[in-house]
Amino acid sequence: MHGMIGCFCVFVVVLCVDVLTKAWAARFLPLAGETAPSFFSLSLHHNYGLSFSLFSDHPTIALLISAAAFCCLAAACAKLRLHRRAPYTCALLCAGAIGNLLDRVFRGYVVDWIYFVKYINIADISLCLGCLLAFKSYYHHTTGRR
């Protein structure tokens, strides 16, 4: 039970930090293009597409794909019992997916505001961390290593 409370807390904290930082960025950061990005910088970027700007000309399709991906992710997480960290992995993945999905629903685009080679946000970082944990758990499960 304590593990589930911890996972719920991870989910809520990541989602809240993502929503709050996007609101901050939308209000205070200059639009991308107004400043030349360096290796790492903070500026506002409206992402109408999916990863790597896929479907950026079709935001409705991007929204539908995002919603379907979240539904599949939630269903997989409900059945996942491979590793003791699996619930935390799902919390990170779901928080990231919902954070970006909320943007697509309410703004029509995702607010990216951290420039680090590409424009990203806290939800993207959460998704990447969740994927890394998922691959690590899968590797340990299939190889028997801890």
In the residue annotation, 124 being an active-site residue is answered as: yes
- Can you give the pLDDT at residue 101? 93
Locus of tokens 């200059």 = 30
Helices (H), 29-121: 59-79, 86-106
The parts of the chain modelled with pLDDT lower than 50 are 1
Q: Coil, helix or strand for 16?
A: helix
Active-site residue (options: 18, 57, 103, 124):
124
- Can you give the pLDDT at residue 143? 76
Q: What is the pLDDT of residues 95-110, one digit of tens each?
A: 999 999 999 999 999 9
The torsion angle over the Cα atoms of residues 69, 72, 77 and 78, rounded to 10 degrees, is: 140
Give the relative orientation of helices 86-106 and 122-143 as an angle to the nearest 10 degrees.
150
- Can you give the pLDDT at residue 35? 67
Active-site residue (options: 18, 57, 103, 112):
112
The torsion angle over the Cα atoms of residues 102, 106, 110 and 112, rounded to 10 degrees, is: -90
Q: What is the pLDDT of residues 72-84, one digit of tens each?
A: 887 877 776 556 6
First-to-final CA distance of the chain: 23
> What domain count does the chain have?
1
Residue numbers of the domain that contains 59: 2-143
Q: Coil, helix or strand for 115?
A: strand
